[in-house]
Structures are given as structure tokens and as C-alpha cells.
Structure 1
Amino acid sequence: MAPFKKHPHRQRIDLGGFQAFKVGGPHPLSDLYYRTMEMTWPTFVGLVTLVFIGINVVFGTIYASFPGAIANAVPHSFADGFFFSVETLATVGYGNMAPASHLGHSIAAFEILLGLFFTATNTGLIFARFSRPRASIVFSKVAVIGLFRGEPALMVRMASIRTRPLADVNAQLSWLQRVDEPNGGTYRRLVELTLVHSHNPMLSLSWMLVHLLEPGSDLLKALASNERFILAAMVSGVDTLLATQSQGSHSYGRKDILIDHQFADVVTDIEGILHLDLRRLHETRALDA
């Protein structure tokens, strides 16, 4: 009989829209705080509900197993034991049922102690989930290679979706380059692209990230090849209302980069008031021949 083999843990990671896997990393249960923080709200609420029900099922079974431990409870009644457990865990205590023996008091005291930890943990997690930075930046679904002031350029457009501006905004644009070593090995590295403007003191509307292209650049060669191509955009700034760091990222594959295209205008001046139409953030048009 073949010995049991433990399969290495596979962990999915999201690189701004591009998915990858880490194999052989630690199990998610080794960092419960981080795992609960990255859960969606429905998953988090469902987990808390299951733990709450599970604790009360266990203690409800214990109470029902010791007749006379709880006053006014029907002997061996799981329902009475369960609901008394709910009232004890929440430290409500309506008064209809109460511990009637030293054993009942001991079990209830242990459950109250567990309830304090359970409530404090959930309160901290809920506060942490509400207070963590939220993405306030939206990126265009496509990048374009067109003309910027008459020169060929790679361009990505982004905008802030909040009513207050972002301050001290910094941007990075990079692509995943494959490097072949003389010994036959290969590795991949992120190559940062030089931007015309990589810093914006105050972002209220939209911003175009522009990288001027030189003839025969490695980026153009990579686009023309059949190798995997990934372009990554990262923007971070300070929310002027919450005084917290706000950041966003997005990645583009080869099919997401339109050649000989320009972005359509999204900012218009109507009677002296600027209007940003986020519905047109992804809209492009082909360059004239």
C-alpha cells in the first residue's frame, strides 16, 4: 500500500486582475486574521453565524445532558439548553431559566468567558474590515498605443470615484519581462516604465498615464511576440477626507492593448463647470490613417 502523500497547499493570488498560484505556502488557517480580512462580507457573516450556532449547539447539548443543572428547563430538552446557551453566551439572561446547581454555574461561567472572547474578536474584526482602505480609483479596461503630442506612446487612463480629491498621488506602470540566461534558465521581472508624469499633487478627475515609446523598444518587441504579456498599473494617494492611504491597481494582457487608438474625451466644460463622464472612461477611437 502506497504511503499517504500530503499535497502541497495551492494559494491563489490576484495581481490586479491577473491570477497566479503559489504552491507549497503555509495553510490559510495559519493566519486566521488575514484570512478573515480578505473574505467577502457574505462569507464573513456566514462564518460568524456558523461559529455562533456551533458554540450554542455544543453548550446546548451539555446543558441537556445534565437534568437539574438549569432551573425551569425541561429535563433532557435540547431546545431549552440551546436557547439558554444563546442567552448566556450573549450575557442577556432573561431570567426565566438560570443555573440551579454548582455544575450549572460552572458550565455557564465557562460559556460567559468564551462569549467575551467571541464578542471581542468579532467586534475587532468588524471594525478592522470597515476601517481598512478601500479602492477609490478606477482604471480603463484597455490600454492604447497612440500619439501623445505627436509622439508614439503607451497610455492608460484612470480616475478617482470619490467626491473628495486624492493628494500626493504617485503612479507606476510596468510590464512583466522574460529574461533568458546564458545557461538556459529563464526568469521574469517587472520592468518599470518611465512616465511623462508619475506624480500628481491633487487628483480630482481623471489622469492619463503616458509612457513614450522608442522605436525598437523591448516593450514593442514583447507585444509582437507570442510570449505572455502583462502590463501592470499601480496608483496610490492620500484620501483628503479620511486621511488614509488609497490605492488601486490593474493589469492588462496583450488583448487589452489597442494599437493605433486614442482615448475619447471624458471631461467636458459645460457653462464653466467641468463634468467627468465615468461612463466613457473605457471609450476609445481608432486613429485616422
Structure 2
Amino acid sequence: MKFRLNRLSRKKRERLIPPIQIQVQDGKFEIMGMGAWYFYWRDPYHLLLRIPWTSFLILISAFYVTINALFALAYLIGGDCIANARPGSFLDVFFFSVQTLASIGYGAMYPKTTYANIIVTIEAMIGLVGIAVMTGLAFARFSRPTARVLFSRVAVITPHEAMPTLIFRTANKRRNTILEAQMRVYLMRDEVTQEGQFMRRFYDLKLLRNQTPSFTLSWSVMHVIDEFSPLYGMTSESLTQTNTTLIISLSGIDETVAQVVNARHSYGANEILWNNQFVDIFYHTPDGHRYIDYNRFHDVLPLE
């Protein structure tokens, strides 16, 4: 009987999990709603960390007004229990609640009955806990390290050192340095096993250089397509048929905040251009200096 109840409760919990929708859009294999903040409503902490700042401030303000309104009603139930407050005045007891919750204590209004002192004690405790929680949430939102990394809109397959090579660009948009930056590239595509089972398979792509001690300006990431590469023998049509997607993951230590930062990007099959090359963005000045023109960062040219 106990086992049956556990099975029933487990099935009930599983029904509460919404179905996951998967689709291929613009050549990318995507999970619908992935990363959307409103899917975290069952996890309040992560919800408050993921919602936009405007929504966060609105939600906190609504909660603040609501809690003070509830305590104001509690004071009204006690009758004339607040000194110097107009009898039956909701505004007076509301602003007295605001003063109590924030531990302001101007002294003009104060509790004068045992009932009012009990409510004040409860509200003071809730105020201390609430301020601690809100401070922690605000600090957590401010202290989250973020990376401003630019990825080229497309990746290209072009000869490099007489070998077909997958290349894409990335650049650090901040005027600082990402230390010990590491780049990882994964290939995902649909496959059918020898047993006839469909699966979405992952492959690690070996890069010519997968890390750099100092990522400051730009980085051309390269993968040689040899006989050991998952891209060996593939064509533009086969990439589309197998819903191939490249997943890019960059991590490193932000020199400014001394914390690990991450950035990611993806390329669909239609964003991998064959027999194209990136436009050179390095230029020389007449006095011998070099500079980078980021205006042409995404530009490509077809091979002759």
C-alpha cells in the first residue's frame, strides 16, 4: 500500500512538469522557453535573480506596500491602539507600519496597548528578516559577473594551411582582459544508431588553440576538418538535414572583478558558410602602428 501511494504521488508530481517543446528554427536546434525567467515561478530565489531589474523593483515595491497594508489592517482591528493616530485612519496606521517595518521610529506615533506592542514586535522581526533578504538579493544581482563577448554572426569553412578549416571570430567588447580564457566547441546533430534509435549526439571539436593567457582584442577560433573531425565528409546539405548546431562556450577570469565569467553562442547549419573567408580587420598606419577595425568584424568574402 505504501509503495502504491508513493507511485501515485510520483505520477502526480510528474504531471505538474510542463511538456518541453523542441523545434528547429533558423537552422538551430532550440528548446522553447529555455532560459526564460518566467519559467522559474516555482523557484522564487532563481526567479528574483533572473527577472529584469524593472520587474524586480516593481515586485519588491508591491510586496512592501502589501505587507504594510496588512499590518495597517491589523492595527485597525485593535481599535485606538496607536497614540497620536487618528481613530480609524488607515493612512495613519499605514505610515506607522512603514516606520516600524524600517525601524525608523520618529516618536510622534507609538503603541499604547499590549495588542499594539505584540503586532509591533512581529512586524519588527519581519522587517529585520525582510531587509536581510532584500539586501542579499540585491547584492547577488549586482555581484553576478558578466562577460561582454562578441561572436561573429557566421562561421566559415575555408582552406587554412592547405586544410579545410572551420573558423569563427570572437572579441572582447570590454576594455579589459579576460585571463586564462578557454574556448570549447561542441557539434550537435541528429543521428540514428545501428539499432534504429534516434538520438541527438554531441561531439567535441578539437581546436588549433583552445586557450589563451590573455583575451583582450579578438580571437579567431579554428578547427581543422581532417579524417578525425565529425565534419569530415559533410556538406552544407547534410548539415541541414541532420540539424547540425555548433555550441560555443567561452570561460575565463575577468581581470577587473577577479571572477570567472562565461559566454556562449551557437551557429546553425545555415550560419556556417562554405568556401568563404573573413575580411581582414587588421590594418597598418603609415607610421608603422596597427589597429583593428571592428566595423568589418562580421564581413566575409567568397573564395575565388
Tell whether the structures are fold-level matches, with TM greater than 0.5. Answer: yes
- Residues in 2 aligned to 1:162 and 1:265: alpha-carbon distance in whole angstroms: 21
Q: 2:277 aligned to 255, 262, 282, which one?
A: 262
Q: 1:20 aligned to 25, 31, 46, which one?
A: 31
- Residues in 1 aligned to 2:260 and 2:109: alpha-carbon distance in whole angstroms: 50
- Residues in 2 aligned to 1:11 and 1:84: alpha-carbon distance in whole angstroms: 48
Confirm whether residue 279 of structure 1 aligns to residue 295 of structure 2. yes
Secondary structure, counterpart of 1:221 in structure 2: coil
Q: CA deviation at 1:272?
A: 4.5
List runs of 5+ in structure 2 lacking aligned partners. Answer: 1-11, 23-27
Q: CA deviation at 1:218?
A: 4.2
- Residues in 2 aligned to 1:274 and 1:55: alpha-carbon distance in whole angstroms: 61
| Residue matched to 2:262 | 247
- Residues in 2 aligned to 1:186 and 1:222: alpha-carbon distance in whole angstroms: 21
Q: CA deviation at 1:119?
A: 0.6
- Residues in 2 aligned to 1:52 and 1:222: alpha-carbon distance in whole angstroms: 59
List runs of 5+ in structure 1 lacking aligned partners. Answer: none
Task: Out of 110-119 and 181-190, give the one that drifted further.
Answer: 181-190
Secondary structure, counterpart of 2:247 in structure 1: strand
- Residues in 1 aligned to 2:95 and 2:20: alpha-carbon distance in whole angstroms: 39
Confirm whether residue 31 of structure 1 aligns to residue 43 of structure 2. yes
Contact 2:190 2:244 (8 Å CA) reproduced: no
| Residue matched to 1:102 | 114
- Residues in 2 aligned to 1:146 and 1:221: alpha-carbon distance in whole angstroms: 14
Alignment of 1:191-230 (within 5 A): 191-214=203-226, 218-219=230-231, 221=234, 223-225=236-238, 226-230=241-245
TM-score with structure 2 length normalisation?
Answer: 0.82
Q: Residues 30, 151 of structure 1: CA spacing in aligned structure 2 closer, same or farther, 3 A cutoff?
A: same
Which residue identity does 1:239 align to in structure 2?
Answer: D
Secondary structure, counterpart of 2:43 in structure 1: helix
Alignment of 1:1-289 (within 5 A): 7-9=16-18, 19-21=30-32, 28-214=40-226, 218-219=230-231, 221=234, 223-225=236-238, 226-270=241-285, 271-288=287-304
Which residue identity does 1:101 align to in structure 2?
Answer: T
Which residue identity does 1:234 align to in structure 2?
Answer: S
Q: Residues 147, 89 of structure 1: CA spacing in aligned structure 2 closer, same or farther, 3 A cutoff?
A: same
Which residue identity does 1:266 align to in structure 2?
Answer: I
Q: CA deviation at 1:147?
A: 2.5
- Residues in 1 aligned to 2:298 and 2:166: alpha-carbon distance in whole angstroms: 15
Which residue identity does 1:130 align to in structure 2?
Answer: F
- Residues in 2 aligned to 1:155 and 1:110: alpha-carbon distance in whole angstroms: 63
Q: CA deviation at 1:11?
A: 7.0
- Residues in 1 aligned to 2:77 and 2:294: alpha-carbon distance in whole angstroms: 62
Secondary structure, counterpart of 2:170 in structure 1: strand
Contact 1:236 1:246 (8 Å CA) reproduced: yes
Secondary structure, counterpart of 1:265 in structure 2: coil
Q: CA deviation at 1:121?
A: 0.6
Which residue identity does 1:79 align to in structure 2?
Answer: L
Q: CA deviation at 1:134?
A: 0.4
Q: CA deviation at 1:183?
A: 2.7
Q: Residues 274, 77 of structure 1: CA spacing in aligned structure 2 closer, same or farther, 3 A cutoff?
A: farther
Q: How many residue pairs end up in the alignment?
A: 279
Q: CA deviation at 1:248?
A: 0.7
**CA deviation map 1:155-175 (0-9, x unaligned):** 110011222211111111111
Q: Give the aligned CA root-mean-square deviation in angstroms.
A: 2.7
| Residue matched to 2:25 | none
